[in-house]
Every structure is written in C-alpha cells, then in structure tokens.
C-alpha cells in the first residue's frame, strides 16, 4: 500500500501541459514561421530586418517569453 500511495503522489506532482497552452504554443510557432516568410518591405513596416526575423523564426516552440503565453 505504501508504494502505491507514493507512486500516486509522484504522478500528481508532474507538470501537465493543458490543451490551451499547447494550442497557444502552436499558434506562436505558426506566427514565427510566417514572420520568416515576410518580404523585406513588410519587415521594414514592422521595424525588423531579415536577420532579426530569421532569428525569431528559428526559435524553438518552447522558447517564448512568459508574457506571450497568456
């Protein structure tokens, strides 16, 4: 019995990513990919150059500022 309760306690403390958080991260990845496809004149309109856009587009899905995920 003791081992079962310890095991159950361990499972309950594991972080679980919610569906909404996963969808938010997928949307972020899609936005980054689209940013990497913009023409230079569109990038200038939003104050970025090709290097900055590529750097952001190449970020992994889990690398996002906390305030972007709200």
In a domain, 55, yes or no: yes
Cα→Cα distances 59→2, 7, 24, 66, 67, Å: 44, 36, 15, 14, 16
pLDDT at 14: 59
Is residue 6 domain-resident? Answer: no
Residues (pLDDT < 70) of the chain are 1-15, 17, 68-70
What is the structure's pLDDT at 13?
A: 60
Q: What is the pLDDT of residue 5?
A: 57
In a domain, 5, yes or no: no
58 assigned to some structural domain: yes
8 located within any domain:
no
Task: Give the pTM.
Answer: 0.64
Instruction: Give me the chain's average pLDDT, please.
Output: 82
Model pLDDT, residue 4: 55
Q: Which pLDDT belongs to residue 64?
A: 77
> Has residue 3 been placed in a domain?
no
Q: Residues 6 or more apart from 68 whose CB is under 8 A from it? A: 28
Domain of residue 26: give its range.
19-69
């Amino acid at each position: 019995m003791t081992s079962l309760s310890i095991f159950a306690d361990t499972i309950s403390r594991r972080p679980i990513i919610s569906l909404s958080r996963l969808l938010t991260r997928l949307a972020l990845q899609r936005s980054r990919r689209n940013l990497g496809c913009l023409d230079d004149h569109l990038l200038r309109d939003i104050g970025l150059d090709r290097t900055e856009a590529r750097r952001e587009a190449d970020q992994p899905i889990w690398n996002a500022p906390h305030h972007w995920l709200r």
